Amino acid sequence: MTHPSLLDQARQWQVLLHSGRATAADRNAAQAWREAAPEHEQAAREVEGLWSLLGQIERPAEQPQARVVRRHRRWATPLACAAMLLLALWLPRGTWIGLYADISTRPGEVRELRLADGSLLTLNGDSALDWQFVDGRREVRLYRGEADFQVAHDPNRPFIVSAGEARIRVTGTRFDVRLEEGGVDLAVSEGRVLASSDGREPLPVVGGQQVRWRGAELQAPQALDARQRLGWQRGKLVLRDRPLEQVFAELERSQSARVLFVDEAARTLQVTGVFALDDPQAVLSAVESTLPVRLVRLPGLILVASRH
Structural domains in the chain, sorted by start: 4-97 (no CATH), 101-225 (2.60.120.1440), 235-306 (3.55.50.30)
Chain Cα centroid distance, residue 62: 35
Q: pLDDT > 90: what percent of the chain? A: 39
Helices then strands, counting H and E runs in the chain, come out as 8, 19
pTM surpassing 0.75? no
pLDDT, tens digit, for every residue of 222-275?
Answer: 999 999 999 999 999 998 899 999 888 888 888 877 788 887 888 999 999 899
Maximum CA extent, the chain:
64
Task: Indicate the SS3 state at residue 196.
Answer: strand
Distance, CA of 198 to CA of 167 (rounded, Å) = 7
Taken as a whole, the chain contains a residue count of 308
What lies within 8 Å, CB to CB, of 10 at 6+ separation is 40, 43, 44, 46, 47
Query: Rounded CA gap, 204 and 183, in Å?
Result: 19
DSSP string for residues in 134-177: ETTEEEEEEEEEEEEEEPPP-TTS-EEEEETTEEEEESS-EEEE
Inter-residue long-range contacts of 78-83, CB under 8 Å, 24+ positions, other chains counted: 79/53, 79/54, 79/55, 80/54, 80/55, 80/56, 83/51, 83/54, 83/56
Which residues of the chain have a pLDDT value below 50? 1-4, 53-83, 85-86, 88-92
Task: Report the alpha-carbon distance of residue 232 to residue 230 in Å, rounded.
Answer: 5
Q: What pLDDT does residue 75 have?
A: 38
Sign of CA dihedral 213, 305, 106, 189: positive
Q: What is the pLDDT of residue 308?
A: 66
Give the containing element (helix H, strand E) for 204.
Answer: strand 203-206
| Predicted local confidence at residue 222, as pLDDT | 96
The string of pLDDT tens digits covering residues 60-83 is 344 444 443 444 444 344 444 444
* Distances from the Cα of 205 to the Cα of 28, 142, 222, angstroms: 31, 19, 9
Residue 59 sits at φ, ψ, to 5 deg, of -95, 155
d(CA 286, CA 75): 37
Pairing outcome for strands 137-150 and 174-180: antiparallel
pLDDT of residue 262: 80
Pairing, β 137-150 against β 159-163 = parallel
| Cα distance between residue 247 and residue 241, in whole Å | 10
